[in-house]
Amino acid sequence: MIAMKVPENYLQQAGVLNKVGEYVAPLARRVLIVAGGHALGVAGDALGHSLQREGIAFDVARLTGKCTLETVQNLARQAQESGAQGVVGLGGGAVMDTAKGVGELAGQLPVIQVPTVAATCAAWSPFSVLYNRQGGHSGSLPLRRFPAWILVDSEVIAAAPVRFLKAGIVDALAKWFEFSPYQSPDGDAPGLTLQLKFSAMALEVFESSAMQALEDNRRQRVTRALVQTIDAVIAFAGLANSVRDESQRIGVAHAIHNSMTHQQAFHHWLHGEKVGYGLAVQAILQHRDPVDREPLLGWLRRMEVPLTPAEWGSGDPRPLLAGIAAGVKIKPEAREHLPFPVDSASLQQALLATLNRQ
């Protein structure tokens, strides 16, 4: 069994923020906008004017924290009480996840995603990642209806701080490095083959265009390299995340990320930065020879991911590393298909090994 859980439509286009109302109009005459505070500042007026031109009424809910189940439930209730016929998400990953969840719980309303950064594939992925009030990962909310539109304005992304695009590149890179260890010499399941194909597509784009895209982002220029890199971060990585089959495959780096979210020391890190450190730990678990780790570590260095606790600027990191190791959750069915150990002792040893990385 293979299931592909994908959005109904995806469009990246310079200036599309000013046309969002045209895409919403066939779907809803009243919407709830879920938005981050910064996103409202940089894109809220343009979005509002676009909706008003089409005669679409809207209410605005400002998201101030993580995507929690309580927040999703409260906003879904607000959407229902206001008579919203759709949900528009405007912002980063937490907003994208919240908007999807609100649409789902409010009666599978159409969701129109307008990401203002390319830092994850959250606009696309077929679930909402949930956190607790303290910012710790708590699970996910599966969706039965996927976004009606993902509208990516490349001018808005180009104007965002380059740190977000670096984190997005790392998060998308992770798909290849997390899925590829599951390959079997006896042949791969069709689902894994698709995941690897989409992941490889993203990797190929990054190899040819990522560094130029980052420079273009710094200069706030929309170029072919930037457009291709944005597509790889959101769409190609999203496609890899959209494939479902019977097999249990978990990304080791994302499992480490999930544990890191329960540590206050990492709450100011972006999702991709935590995933990047998780990839560095995975490289130690996977490759005994440091030379074999370099293809991945080279990418992480170029994206300026903190690879050793010495870069964290905190005190003795060993208790923190022990806490991360203890909190990593990988199902036994996934462990048995990995060619390297991921038990707590091995994880703690690999985490401690980052203390000595130069």
From the annotation, which residues make up the binding site?
93-97, 125, 131, 171, 254, 271
Distance CA 259, CA 275 (A): 11
Helices 290-302 and 162-179, packing angle to 10 deg: 150
> Three-state SS string across 58-125, please?
EEEEEECCCCCHHHHHHHHHHHHHHCCCEEEEEECHHHHHHHHHHHHHCCCCCEEEEECCCCCCCCCC
Q: Which of 237, 101, 104 is nearest to 167 (CA)?
A: 237
Report helix, strand or coil for 127: strand
Copy the structure tokens of residue 316: 């003795």
Contact predicate 348/319, CB 8 Å: no
> Three-state SS string across 255-271, please?
HHHHHHCCCHHHCCCCH
Contact predicate 217/293, CB 8 Å: no
| Number of other CB atoms surrounding residue 329 within 10 Å | 9
Copy the structure tokens of residue 148: 């009606």
Q: What does residue 105 show for φ and ψ, rounded to 5 degrees?
A: -80, -20
Report helix, strand or coil for 129: strand
Binding residue ranges for glycerol: 171, 254, 271
Binding residue ranges for NAD(+): 93-97, 125, 131
- Which residues make Cβ contacts (< 8 Å) with residue 346, sequence separation at least 6? 285, 340
Distance CA 110, CA 88 (A): 9
Distance CA 157, CA 167 (A): 13
Distance CA 135, CA 130 (A): 9
Distance CA 280, CA 257 (A): 11
